[in-house]
Amino acid sequence: MKITVIQGPNLNMLGVREQGIYGNMKLENIHNQMEQIAKQNNIEIDFFQSNLEGEIVDRIQECLGDSDGIIINPAAYTHTSIAIRDAIAAVSIPTIEVHLSNIHQREEFRHTSLIAPVCAGQILGMGPYGYHLAMIGMMQILGEIEALKQARQKAKASKEQ
């Protein structure tokens, strides 16, 4: 099982930028915590961060046939990027959207996510712990998908006998 974590613009500045909104934990520390959860659960995890929309779209597309799930914080692109939304819809891989802050408590232009409608779930306002919750949620989703596959295989095998 493999999960790809995609981080959008300015998340490389965590721990430095607007600590009152985003906290003081650096992105590297968040990734280290996610890596520990992945190791404990026998999951391969890959991290990617870009400030460029096209690079994020490319990375989502590269997940097709390579990753079982995507955890994404599209950051400011949440509210503006039809391209990222369309890439997630195109690959049809379970995706969870994460935001450190509660976008609904912020400026009005941040209240709408173009990404959420094509995601399995959205976690926001939990700070760095939101990534932990996303890992748990993704493991649940992927576990359910695997159980469904096994049930279908069993049913198919029974019909063939």
Report, as residue numbers or ranges, the catalytic residues. Answer: 22, 99
SS3 101: coil
| Angle at 25 (CA atoms; ends 59, 63), nearest 5 degrees | 15
Q: Which amino acid is at 93?
A: I
As to burial, measured by CB atoms within 10 angstroms (0-12 exposed, 13-18 middle, 19+ buried), residue 47 is: middle
How far is the CA of 10 from the CAs of 4, 15, 49, 103, 121, in angstroms?
Answer: 18, 11, 9, 16, 22
Cα separation, 89 vs 60, whole angstroms: 10
Residue 2 DSSP class: E
Choose among 126, 47, 136, 121: nearest CA to 88: 121
Tell me if residue 144 falls in helix, strand or coil.
Answer: helix
